Every structure is written in C-alpha cells, then in structure tokens.
Amino acid sequence: MNGNRIENILSEKLKRVLENENVQTELQEIRLRVDKPIMIYWANKEFFIGTDLKLHTLDQNSLCATNDDIKEVLEYISKHSLYAYEEDIRNGYITIEGGHRIGLAGKVVLENGKVKTIRNVSCINIRVSHEIKGSADHVLPYIVTGGVIHHTLIISPPKCGKTTLLRDIVRQVSDGFMNFHGVNVGLVDERSEIGGCYRGIPQNDIGKRTDILDSCNKGEGLLMLIRAMAPQVIALDEIGNKDDIDAIEYAINAGCKIICTVHGNSIKDIKDKPRLQELIERKLFQRYIFLENQNNIGDIKKIYDEDHKMVSMLVDKRMLKES
Amino acid sequence: MRILGMMMVFIACSGIGITYSYIYKKRVEQLCEWKKGIVLLKNEINYSLTPLPEAFEIIGRKLEGVMNRFFDEIAALLKTNNNKTMSSLDEKVIKKLLIDSCLNEKDRKTIISFIKNLGLLDKESQMNNLELHINYIQQEIDAAKKDEEKNNKLFKTLGILSGIFIIVIFI
C-alpha cells in the first residue's frame, strides 16, 4: 500500500467516493465540519457529496460529516497516536506522510494565555500536497541571470501557488538547471508546507543540495542555517513579522541570497508592512514576482526589478488557449 | 507387556499433571512479559512520543516468546489496517494472536480492552491509562504467583498419584 495516498486517512465512506469519482489527480482539499456538508475541492471547483456518493456542484441533500467521521479521520491521521502530535495540534495542523497538511479547528484549550491543545476537533481541512515540477521554469531566468542569483520576493494573495512556485525554485536552484550549476540552499520551513516533512524527512523534492529546518521559527532558523550549514541561498515562506525581516537583513549582509514569499496583492500592500517597506525602499530585493489567478492557480506571473519596473509578464499557455 | 502398560499409564498421568502446573508457571511469566511491554510502551510514549505502530514494533523486539510475536503482530495490524480504528479492531483477530499463550480468558479480555482503548487519547490520558493498567497487571501477577505456588505441587502430585491409582486398580 502506498503510504503517501490520501485515501489512507479517510473514512470508508469518503474513500469510496474518491475511488468512484477518480478525483485523486487534481484533488486540492477535503473539508469536514461536524453536521455540515462534506466539501471537496477538485480541479479548482467546489463539490458536495450527494446521497448517491457522487460529486455534485449544488448542495442538495449533501452528505454531512458526523462527529464520528471527524474522530475516525483524526485517528488515521495520527496513526492511532494523538499524543504523538500534540505539538502539531497546538499549532493547528498535522503534516502527514506525503507532505499533505491537515488543518484542525475546534475547542481550543488555553493554559497561561497560550494554546495548550485543540480538544473536540470539529473541523478538518485536508490539503493535498501538490508538487508541480517545472512550475518555476519560466521565472528562473529572471531570478538567476549570468550565474548570479537575485534576492527575490514572491508576492501573492492566498491560493495563488506561491509555495508551489517557491518549492520548485528551491529544487532547481539546488539541483541546477540549464547552464546553472546548483548551489547549497538552506530552507526554513516553519509550517512544513514546502518540504512537507514527515519525521524530519522531506516528502517533496526540494533538491539535492538543500538543507531543511522543519517546523522552525523563520527568524531563528535562518540564523541557525547561516551558522551551521553555510548556505548560498536561503528560502523562506510567508515572511511577515519584525524578527523575520531582521533575520533576512542579517542574511543579506552575511552574503546569502534570499528567496522568500509574502502575502499581498501589490507593492503598496507589502509596503504597508513597516519593516518590509524599509527593505524595499533600500532596494535589497532585486526581483519581485507577483502571482495572480485568472483561470488557474498562479496562471499570471508579473516580474519586477528593484526599481519596480516590470521586467516580464508570464501568462500560462493554457489560459491563452482558453481565451 | 504388563509392566510396559503400567509405565505408560504412569508417565501419561504424571505428564498431564506436569503440563497443568507448567501452564500456571507460564501464565506468570507471560503476565510479567506483558507488564514489561506496557512499561516500555509507557516510556516510548512519555519520552519519545513514538506513534503506536512503531512503538509496538520496537517493544516487540525487546520481548520474548508469545509477547514478542503479539507486539509484532499488533504493530503489523496497525500499519497495514489503515481503515480500522483501534476501537473497531476485530476481537477475534487479537484473540487469535494470543492462542499460543497460557493466559486465561480474563487476561485475554483485559488485554483486548486495553488495546482497543489506546486510540484517541492525549498524552496525559494515555499515561493515566497505562499506569492504571500496570497496577492492575501487577495485582494479576501477584494473584497468579499465589495460584502457581498453590497449584504447582498440587497438579504434579495429583498427576503422579492418579497414575499410581489407575495402576493399582488395574492390578
């Protein structure tokens, strides 16, 4: 049995639906909420499960998740060992074999004002890990020019594929591509989304010269990598707070190249983040990549240089065909 | 021929007596081995947070005889049987794994119910559950030791005497 298969963590009912409908290839999310219809996100569309155990776009007599369904899935996710994932549960998610991320919500138990655990889990979001090799092919020539890697900031709203793009950039910069010989990459994967580590081992291909710090705070992780692993490039996902920015500045001063992502829709959006604004104004980032969704995830990529002049606009070929 | 027959009756009766006394001795050994397994499981959970399938596998390697096989088989069951919760594990399957043991019906039921309750517990509850079970097993071991002392000699003597009795009757 393939341990990476998402079916292994599903209840018998859901497993049958996925097998019947053959949706495994483009499956994105499965959302379970107690007494609410089960939702499946497949090929960028939302589906409900009808009483006939088939997928429907309309919510009519849809199959609802029960408390027992949630408990069952939770037991499979934790391999019958909830105690082993208490730290993950405290963070609100569990990463399972295959790099799939399971988000949890429910009754939060606090201790001294901090989250101790989530008891009575009532909502589960199963996010299927998607590794799209080659998704960075078109942007890499702008990130690496003449053998030199530019400090790059990937900006996009949620669900536009910035993590997928960053993962492929990391892989190709690490392995090398075309005439570029790979370099050592340090990856701080705070939320286990890039490498999808399961027990410290990356489940996604992040390249042969990549050292990963999994579930580590970005600011601290970045400093640890510089001290211990001497990376030429450091990659980070979803930077935001002051510590992250300070660490990035330290890494740039230490001679490392930075490739990172941030939530936002425009340069103005990210300029509203005070510390990040400083780095932008000092032109520390040499490339900005904006992702947008038109028809598919991240099908438009706009690339700007340090002076905020557009260098290129890449449009997914599938979109051109559709229009 | 007559002497040979008498000897065979004597050996058979004594053998039955010794086997019964052996079952009492083995039950104590197997309960001790089970307790050792649970103490190791408690440590695996407490210090390494090892998930149950791996913990059962690791502990199986440290145990002997029936319990070595039992822990191994439970680990394999948990690893391969992905669409079964702990509480829905088939009792017959678990019972079958203990078929070679000298444990009595009550011991087997206790082990089955313990395994079925392991599934959805957080660390604190898991520790309490294990502690409770260890205390219970210790009581069972103490009682089994008393039974062994009492019945060991009894069954051996009974076997030998019943052999002699049958021989005397036939003479």
Which pLDDT tens digit goes with each residue over B88-117? 888 888 888 888 888 999 999 999 999 988
Two structure tokens written together for A1: 């049995």
Q: How far is CA B166 from CA B4, B9, B154, B161, B163, in A?
A: 14, 8, 18, 9, 5
Name chain B contacts of A3, Cβ cutoff 8 Å: none
Q: Give which of B121, B117, B98, B116 is closest to B108, Cα–Cα.
A: B98
Average pLDDT over residues A102-108: 93
How does residue A1 score in pLDDT terms, banded at 50, 70 and 90? very low
Residue from the list B52, B80, B85 with its beta carbon closest to the beta carbon of A81: B52
A18, A78, A80: best mutation site toward chain B, by most B Cβ within 10 Å?
A80
Which residues of chain A form CATH 3.40.50.300? Answer: 140-322
Flag if B122 and A8 touch (Cβ within 8 Å).
no
Q: What pLDDT does residue A296 have?
A: 66
For residue A124, pLDDT over 90 is answered with: yes
Residue from the list A9, A11, A75 with its beta carbon closest to the beta carbon of B86: A75
For residue B121, pLDDT over 90 is answered with: no
Name chain B contacts of A11, Cβ cutoff 8 Å: 83
CB A244 within 8 A of CB A236: yes
Average pLDDT over residues A68-74: 90
Average pLDDT over all residues of chain B: 88
Q: What pLDDT does residue A317 have?
A: 56
Q: Please state which of the four CATH numbers 3.40.225.10, 3.40.50.300, 3.30.70.270, 1.50.10.10 is assigned to the domain occupying A140-322.
A: 3.40.50.300
Name chain B contacts of A12, Cβ cutoff 8 Å: 83
Q: What pLDDT does residue B163 have?
A: 85
Looking at chain B, the whole-number percentage of residues with pLDDT higher than 70 is 98
Q: What pLDDT does residue A44 have?
A: 79
How does residue A322 score in pLDDT terms, banded at 50, 70 and 90? very low
For residue B139, pLDDT over 90 is answered with: yes
Shortest Cα–Cα distance, A77 to chain B (Å): 10
Q: What pLDDT does residue A295 have?
A: 66
Every domain of chain B and the residues it spans? 2-170
In CATH, what number does A6-127 get?
A: 3.30.450
Q: What pLDDT does residue A3 have?
A: 46
Coil vs helix vs strand at A223? helix
Higher-confidence residue of B119 and A85: namely: A85
Two structure tokens written together for B111: 């082990």
Distance CA A122, CA A133 (A): 35
Two structure tokens written together for A50: 């009808």
Name chain B contacts of A78, Cβ cutoff 8 Å: 51
CB A44 within 8 A of CB A296: yes
A7, A83, A86: best mutation site toward chain B, by most B Cβ within 10 Å?
A83
Looking at chain B, the whole-number percentage of residues with pLDDT higher than 90 is 40
Q: What pLDDT does residue A231 have?
A: 95
B123, B124, B128, B129: best mutation site toward chain A, by most A Cβ within 10 Å?
B123
Distance CA A142, CA A137 (A): 10
For residue A323, pLDDT over 70 is answered with: no
Q: What pLDDT does residue B83 have?
A: 66
Q: Give which of A104, A126, A90 is closest to A15, Cα–Cα.
A: A126
Q: Give which of A208, A213, A132, A142 is closest to A176, Cα–Cα.
A: A208
Average pLDDT over all residues of chain A: 86
Q: What pLDDT does residue A103 have?
A: 93
Shortest Cα–Cα distance, B29 to chain A (Å): 29
Flag if A82 and B121 touch (Cβ within 8 Å).
yes
Helix and strand element counts for chain B (H, E): 6, 0
* CB hemisphere CA count around A72 (13 angstroms): 22
